Structure 1
Amino acid sequence: MQLSGAEIICECLLEQGVDTVFGYPGGAALNTYDALYKYSDKINHILTAHEQGASHAADGYARATGKTGVVITTSGPGATNIVTGIATANIDSIPVVAITGNVTTDQLGRDSFQEVDIVNIVKPITKASFLVEKVEDLAPTLRKAFEIAQSGRKGPVLVDVPKDVTANKTEFEVVKPKEVERVSIKNPEKIKKVQDMIRNAKQPIIYAGGGIISANATEIFKKFAELTDIPVCCSLMGLGCIPADHPLCMGNIGMHGGYETGMATDKCDLIIACGARFSDRVAGDRDKFGAQAEIVQLEIDEKEINKNVKVSEYVLGDLEYILEALCDGMEQQNHAEWLETLGEWKHYLDNKIPADDKYPQPKEILGALNEIKSDDDIVATDVGQHQMWVAQFNKAQTPRTLLTSGGLGTMGFGMGAAIGAQTAHPDKRVVLVTGDGSFHMNLNELVTMKSYDLPVVILVMNNTVLGMVRQWQKLFYGNRFSQTDPHRATDFVALANAFGIDGMRINTKEDIKPVLEKAFALNKPVLVDCRISPDQNVLPMIPPGKTVNEIITEM
């Protein structure tokens, strides 16, 4: 059948099983949006307030579902406004396909109105980027984009489509998408070697990263951890790969991880890194990180092997295949004594970190949230102190229920991510935990939440300062609070009301439970202004480039 390029875009989206896209229209994308109007009974389009919000929403949709998120924008600023969202998805290995409009092919390279070379702009932050100059190439390129986004180590792909390509017509035939080819184990001879290392270890740990969730390997991972009886220390992206209340789950590892995970890293004799990349926020001093231990890396991306930390052995391939192979023939292991030691370390800092009784505590707010929400409800965060409190105190029981910008650390990510997750899962509740600094960056997306009646509960940890940067200024810059006490007069409750959203406040400890219960009971978008202390710190903290031996427990 003869179809226009714009219609081909819609048909290809349907081919790929896409039923929801996020975006913002504009001149160069008008043909595409005209086609979306005709396909509106099959493709749900969520109009955000800003293209960055749309890119984060596509990302959040992908994180919450495992599917490929889709964002559609116009040319020029419409395209450049999604760059931060693409970079966020790229470093966290999230499958997103971005479809941008551009000026007509005869206007390319002439500094035309709203023209930008987005294909080259995003090359360093995508798995691939394509400019489609002929309508005949459009369908094959889009199919290739989805295949690349989901294959191997997942990530974003951009397809730039000039306006005349969306107007021109060509023959189109529906093609059933190919099954994504999974990566087989590249060095299977290493499996027995790693099994022997596990058998010989007395004090092993698993360093669990986001690759476990990305590979949809949480069930086999749990089996592997239980069979080997190895405690699990999760990166920020790995939280949820094993239930938070599982006896083997030690919680978050790294700069703001628990004392027990820091000590485990320092005293273990074997580290098994599963889908983790030894980020500087985990391996502060990379020369000393696990220096006393053998390190095994289980990884799909060969470029990550020995990139940050030198490893003793590695197995390369799809993580699910690797874990299945490691379980095959492995006897039940027992590390009861080691686990008991870790349990003692878990309580080492009890009562050693001072609390401020004058204000509601983030720990108490998140503790109450754990009691109210279900295990399948989703928590999205922005970036800063609140993000680390969520890592410490939120109980992520199931995969894909914690959405956070791990690698790029994108303030403003959470609003879009919450929109994407709530759109994907109307049967679940989504909670956005943010700080007043991050919230100010993309608060315009309140209009999107209201427009689509998305029942997101927004908890603004409002300390009136840029908390994490200010904490570093206390520790490393002699209390010189340069531009971290902005003296903003924003009334978040009044702001929410201006967008047509209910607003509430938590001023005291006594407010916490009743206010959160009321917010959840409303079953519509609601903002809760949580008035916490400007001097509330995230502790413990391992300074950058240091080890657990230099951990900070009070300030």
Structure 2
Amino acid sequence: MGITVAEALVLCLERENVEVIFGYPGGAILPVYDALYKSNKIKHVLVRHEQGAAHAADGYARATGKVGVCMATSGPGATNLVTGIANAYMDSVPIVAFTGQVPTGMVGTDAFQEVDITGITMPVVKHNYFVKDPKQVPKIVREAFYIARTGRPGPVLIDLPKDVTSAIIDYEEVEEINLRGYKPNYRADDEQVEKAAEMIKKSQCPVIYAGGGVVSAGAHDELKVLAETIGAPVTHTLLGLGGFPGDHPLFAGMLGLHGAMYANKIVTECDLLITLGARFDDRVTGKIAGFAPDASVIHVDIDPAEIGKNVRVHLPVAGDVKTVIQQIIPLLEQKNNRQWLERFAELKKQYALRYEPAAGEGLKPQQVIEKLNEVAQGNAIICTDVGQHQMWAAHYYRHIQPRSFISSGGLGTMGYGYPAAIGAEFGCPGKQVILISGDGSFQMNLQEMATVMEQGLSVKVIVLNNGRLGMVRQLQEFYCDKRYMAVDFSYHPDFAGIARVYGMKGFDIKTSEELNAILPEVLSSQGPAIINCFVQEDENVYPMVMAGKCIDEAIEG
């Protein structure tokens, strides 16, 4: 006797060692939820908005390195997942999204809650499936997880018509996956690796430029050995933070349009740029002609399509970052770049990050992050939303461990942080998870406070409340001659009061004394909390590279 496709699907998920699914039910996906009811291996987390489900799966994946899973019904349920799927696609995060669909016989009739979700998501997924044959579901699920986690990771979507999930099949496990045309290359060509080693040996002023690929490949230990062997400062993209210890003497911080000035300067002066798992996006390079102008460029990436896409590359090395570094290290000898490292130390001192202290009893946002860094001591998972607070969190918190900094990079999704923090806590139970948000970003998905309470989570939220859409206001200051439009919040929500309404602790902080007293107490306590920090309204993020300028021409404030 057979079982339903929905029951087979649950068995497939259990076989993939899925621990948790973030989702929101509806009519078209009902057979799958009915099958999930019988599973004692998979926990379902009911979010309060489908976007939260996708972001939670994303945060879970980033924190653990496993594939995150989310689920929604057809129509608006499916379209509400799209932002989260696009976010995962831009940042190369492995998630599998399941959506319900109207019965196959009704597809194309504009049936109730029908939408072509495979067509909509095609540009923002690594692959997607519209399932017509019930017998293919076990094979499709196996393929989806394989595609999501291998090579350059990314999201995969499976759209399931209701009559397909209700159909009866004879379930058989799928063992081997062999996808023609999809053969991720982990080991680089030996000749290219040897050429890279020779370029490194000849270099006098090397810099390592490390992206999110270092973190997703688990290459942090190898990166540290490489940097120490060749005496190269290590600068990061936003998503690369944590891939190299932030307290290491060779740590060069984040570079780019809002990067540390010493990072931008050292890249500009280097003679060899060793690029590991990064894609030279516009937020990093600024004016291309002025980016590392005197450097030869080695580009190591799992995705050959990224190599040479934005910046001229002198040596392409296609392969997994961890594997490639392991190939290179035995070919190298210990280098003594004393003069170069002295120059780096000089730049780091000359262009150290700085800000003006608050006048009177006010709070500076950077001050809040510094205090958080002091209290948390690098032991927490830090999540952020998007905006000024994100840049301050990147600069003023020391990110020591890989997978401990979770943020939306390529898509820049406001509202990402809170559900991502939920996913991170499910992935790493017992680890302290802290969200740094802004008053604009936090309002976009604060309904997930109900999910936090219902699931007994302990996510702490620090809201840097300046009553503004701060980053947009800053752009209007520089590019619109201070014509501020639609960036001032005339109504300020009582975030601490909202926290208490939801049943969690809420605090308002307006002075340094309150910050020093309340923050350590809250972080050492059990349960979730919202810490609403009223910070200076018109503080800007510096350094800042203006449009059309080179990264070493940043305004320092």
TM-score, structure 1 normalization:
0.97
User: Which amino acid counterpart does residue 27 of structure 2 have in structure 1?
Assistant: G
SS at 1:281 equivalent: helix
SS of the counterpart of 1:495? helix
2:324 corresponds to = 322
Alpha-carbon distance between aligned partners in 1 of 2:365 and 2:336, rounded to the nearest angstrom? 37
Taking every aligned residue pair, what percent have the same amino acid on both sides? 44
Q: What are the equivalent positions in structure 2 for 1:271-286 lying under 5 Å apart?
A: 271-286=273-288
1:496 deviates by 1.0
What is the CA distance between 1:548 and its match in structure 2?
A: 3.4
In the alignment, is residue 243 of structure 1 matched against residue 245 of structure 2? yes
**Aligned counterparts of 1:8 and 1:367: Cα–Cα separation in 2:** 50
Q: Name the structure 2 match of 1:529.
A: 532
The number of residue pairs the alignment matches comes to 553
Aligned residue runs from structure 1 range 106-121, under 5 A: 106-121=105-120
Aligned partner of 1:333: which letter? K
Q: Residue deviations 1:235-283, cap 9 Å, x none?
A: 1010000110011111111111111101011111110110000011100
- Tell whether 2:531 aligns with 1:514: no
CA contact (8 A) 1:15 1:176 kept: no
Report the alpha carbon displacement of residue 287 of structure 1 after superposing the two structures with TM: 2.0
1:206 maps to 208
* Aligned residue number for residue 462 of structure 1: 465
State the partner residue of 1:146: 145
Letter of the structure 2 residue corresponding to residue 459 of structure 1: I
Name the counterpart of 1:162. Answer: 161
Deviations 1:179-205 (A, max 9, x none): 997623343211121111111111110
> C-alpha distance in 1, partners of 2:97/2:141?
10
Query: 1:457 is matched by which residue type in structure 2?
Result: K
2:17 is aligned to 17
Which 10-residue stretch deviates more, 254-263 or 20-29? 254-263
Deviation at 1:353, TM superposition (A): 4.3
Matched, 1:500 2:503: yes
Task: Give the alignment partner of residue 365 of structure 2, picking from 343, 362, 367.
Answer: 362
Name the residue aligned to 1:233.
Answer: 235
Q: Structure 2: how far apart are the matches of 1:184 and 1:496?
A: 47
Instruction: Identify the residue that residue 128 of structure 1 maps to in structure 2.
Output: 127
Match of 1:304 in 2: 306
Instruction: String of CA shifts for 1:187-240, please: whole Å, max 9, x gaps.
Output: 321112111111111111011000011111111111111111111001101000
1:58 positional shift: 0.2
Residue identity matched to 1:300: I
**What is the deviation of 1:470?**
0.4
The whole-number CA distance in structure 2 between the counterparts of 1:344 and 1:53 is 45
- Contact 1:287–1:309 under 8 Å retained in 2: no
Q: After the TM superposition, which residues 147-546 of structure 1 pair with which residues of structure 2 at under 5 Å, given as runs?
A: 147-175=146-174, 183-349=185-351, 353-358=355-360, 359-546=362-549
CA distance in 2: counterparts of 1:171 and 1:488, whole angstroms: 59
Q: CA RMSD in A?
A: 1.6
1 CA distance for matches of 2:156 and 2:426?
22
How far is the alpha carbon of 1:549 from its aligned partner? 3.9
Separation in structure 1 between the aligned mates of residue 357 and residue 292 of structure 2, nearest angstrom: 32
CA contact (8 A) 2:261 2:352 kept: no
Q: 8 Å contact 2:98–2:157 — kept in the other structure?
A: yes
Q: After superposition, what is the alpha-carbon deviation per residue over 1:390-416, rounded to whole angstroms, capped at 9, x for unaligned?
A: 110111111000000010000000011
Cα distance between partner residues in 1 of 2:92 and 2:111: 34
Letter in structure 2 aligned against 1:269: D
Show CA shifts across 1:361-408 (max 9, x none). 222211221222253420000000000001101111110000000100
Partner of 2:73: 74
AA matched with 1:2: G
Matched to 1:24, the amino acid is: Y
Distance 1:370 1:176, change over 3 A: farther
Gaps of 5+ in 2: none
Aligned residue identity for 2:515: I
Letter in 2 for 1:281: R
The residue type paired with residue 83 of structure 1 is V
State TM-score, norm by structure 2. Answer: 0.97
Q: Which runs of 5+ in 1 are unaligned?
A: none
Shift of 1:175: 4.0
The 3-state SS of whatever aligns with 1:504 is strand
SS, match of residue 229 in structure 2: helix
The aligned residue for residue 104 of structure 1 is 103
In structure 2, the residue matched to 1:32 is: 32
Per the TM alignment, residue 337 of structure 1 is displaced from its structure 2 partner at its CA by: 1.7
Cα separation, 1, equivalents of 2:324 and 2:115:
43
Identify the residue that residue 44 of structure 1 maps to in structure 2: 43
CA contact (8 A) 1:225 1:248 kept: yes
Q: Does the CA contact (< 8 Å) of 1:188 and 1:315 recur in 2?
A: no
1: CA distance, partners of 2:398 / 2:176:
37
